[in-house]
A and B are shown apart, each in its own frame.
Chain A
């Protein structure tokens, strides 16, 4: 058996042991997300517009990730609406910045990997790199939105009559608790992945100025920064969507009572 399938099986078993049916669903969501990502790459290779492919894939990934986890209806719906809003805001930030920074495609450090490959393939790499930045942030948006919504929903479950103002405060408080570690997830995730690149920089003795203007370096750091912006924005947006949803529920409940 190959290493990938063995590790995959172990992960599946553990997820079922810990999360039961919900765990199996999350694992399925992971597989489907991989399928969507691969499909997106294939579609772009067939000359579909990278940005449109990414937006559609992005919405599907968010829906899959959020609704296939075991959250209750309220927190899942709130998390999905909030993360979709954040995704749209983020696209509006990423598109102009990628055009401005000119970090598309590959840098001189990639030449060895590119040996024997034709790079003149007629697909806009500005758009491909923009799509990459958006896709690499998707997981972080969904996770942050779910964490806030799940925390608030736990509080609502234990304390059904909590006031809207207090709920808003609770949301920001949960956000403040998670922001530090969420940032570190992003930091370690990205820096772990680019350990080799940074070792390259020190090994070849790049100067500080060269690193700061290097295409690959800037491209990577921008990806981390986009992910951080999206996580920061997710906190108030998710809390706000949740208070709206709870307010709506209570209004309906009041009306039903009046009707009796």
Chain B
């Protein structure tokens, strides 16, 4: 009877999630009024002939001009119809092909008389991004329930803290970037672990491991930087840099390591607590050994997580370098070297956290773990 009831309640939740998702998609399709920039909805597309382009490196591509007719959805030009042209290439690195129904941001140049001239700036992307956020939140709540909600809450809270730290960094012209993000790392870790594990002994042990592991990895990195004089590190290859690159790089690495070290210590320590619950008679040494075993199994994959996050991202630019006649070595230095350094520093933190987590858990775990 209870199972039946549980199933029905869950069915209602799935239905509710679907309805909210539908409303979200519909809403973002009709929210042009919220935007300051004029948005054009394409109602007709005329496609021209493709022309062949060849560059200095014998790369061939095709460019096509399309004429888009549509009307403005918002602002003072609302309802006015207009025609804009757009050129797209087959590869589409910096441009895109538009279709009937696309909503575009346009820049209106001239509005004397009846005729409106404008150029297409970019496509509106709020529908796909909000839809995907909704998919993640819905899956999280439906599969993980309360723990999922807490995970979502911790990411949201960290997002807000992160935003505040960036604004603070902006107001100090980036001079204090390392201190701001370093001290925030401590707040991040404490807040996240408190939300995920609750305030208990397990959380304290995990927090100590996280901060210890991350701090060690940064100290090792600074020592290595000092003794190798940062040979083979190309700060000028960092993207989107608007302030002094070195402290910024360290702050990026610090943040990247923090999450992974926290993840690993939680994995090891929560497994050890579960083990102790199943087998309360295990001695501290046996617990330490189990911890090292679990840790050495997961440390490799965890370093990989960060490696792929830091380095896979350089794929498009690295490929472009290769297509522009650069050597493999130069392509690596200019695109991937900084990501590799970040992965290695994080890796050091991740490995050091294994004995630290096992030691702290085996020595400071209560004799009898309460469920």
Give residues in A with beta carbon < 8 Å to B: 1-8, 10-11, 14-15, 18-20, 22-23, 25-27, 29-30, 33-34, 37-38, 40-42, 44-45, 61, 65-66, 68-71, 75, 97, 100-106, 109-110, 113-114, 117-126, 128-129, 131-132, 135-140, 142-143, 146-147, 150-151, 154-155, 158-159, 170, 173-200, 202-203, 207, 209, 212-215, 218, 221-223, 225-229, 232-233, 235-236
Cβ 8 A contact of B351, one of A11, A37, A101? A11
CB within 8 Å of A: which B139-160 residues: 139-140, 143-144, 147-148, 150-152, 154-155, 158-159
A69 contacts B59, CB within 8 Å?
A: no
Contact residues in A for B279 (Cβ distance below 8 Å):
158-159
B143 contacts A235, CB within 8 Å?
A: yes
> In the complex, how many angstroms separate the beta carbon of A8 from the nearest chain B beta carbon?
6
Contact residues in B for A184 (Cβ distance below 8 Å):
154-155, 158, 192, 196, 259, 262-263
Known A-B contacts A4-B340, A105-B92, A158-B279; the reply to A179 vs B224 at CB < 8 A is no
Known A-B contacts A10-B348, A110-B239, A137-B308; the reply to A124 vs B90 at CB < 8 A is yes
Query: Cα distance A7–B251 when bound, in Å?
Result: 18
Tell me whether B199 is interfacial, beta carbon within 8 Å: no
Q: Which of B1-9, B13-21, B106-114, B317-325 contacts A (4 or more CB under 8 A)?
A: B317-325
Query: Cα distance A130–B316 when bound, in Å?
Result: 10
A119 contacts B94, CB within 8 Å?
A: yes
Query: Cα distance A233–B257 when bound, in Å?
Result: 24
Contact residues in A for B221 (Cβ distance below 8 Å):
7
A178 contacts B139, CB within 8 Å?
A: no
B319 contacts A128, CB within 8 Å?
A: yes
Residue on B with the closest CB to A122?
B61
> In the complex, how many angstroms separate the beta carbon of B216 from the nearest chain A beta carbon?
10
Query: Cα distance A124–B262 when bound, in Å?
Result: 38
B158 contacts A187, CB within 8 Å?
A: yes
A146 contacts B59, CB within 8 Å?
A: no
Question: With contacts defined as CB atoms under 8 Å apart, how many contacts are there between chain A and chain B in the complex?
Answer: 445
Most buried by B among A19, A38, A119: A119
> In the complex, how many angstroms separate the beta carbon of A77 from the nearest chain B beta carbon?
14
Contact residues in A for B262 (Cβ distance below 8 Å):
181, 184-185, 188
Give residues in B with beta carbon < 8 Å to A: 34-37, 53, 55-57, 59-63, 89-94, 96, 105, 122-126, 128-129, 132-133, 135-136, 139-140, 143-144, 147-148, 150-152, 154-155, 158-159, 162, 166-167, 169-170, 174, 181, 188, 192-193, 195-197, 220-221, 224-225, 227-228, 230-233, 238-243, 248, 251-260, 262-263, 266-267, 270-271, 274-275, 278-279, 290, 292-313, 315-324, 328, 332, 336-337, 339-342, 344-345, 347-348, 351-352, 354-355
Query: Cα distance A171–B81 when bound, in Å?
Result: 58
B135 contacts A178, CB within 8 Å?
A: no
Where chain B touches its partner, the secondary structure class is helix
Query: Cα distance A118–B91 when bound, in Å?
Result: 12
Query: Cα distance A227–B312 when bound, in Å?
Result: 13
Residue on A with the closest CB to B271?
A151
Cβ 8 A contact of A38, one of B133, B154, B159, B332? B332
Query: Cα distance A71–B297 when bound, in Å?
Result: 6
Query: Cα distance A192–B126 when bound, in Å?
Result: 23
Provide a sorted-by-A list of 7 A–B residue pairs whose CB atoms are within 8 angstroms.
Answer: A30-B300, A121-B93, A135-B308, A135-B312, A147-B301, A185-B262, A209-B34
B96 contacts A102, CB within 8 Å?
A: yes
- What 6 A-B pairs come out closest when comparing CB atoms? A26-B300, A188-B259, A19-B296, A180-B196, A192-B255, A192-B256
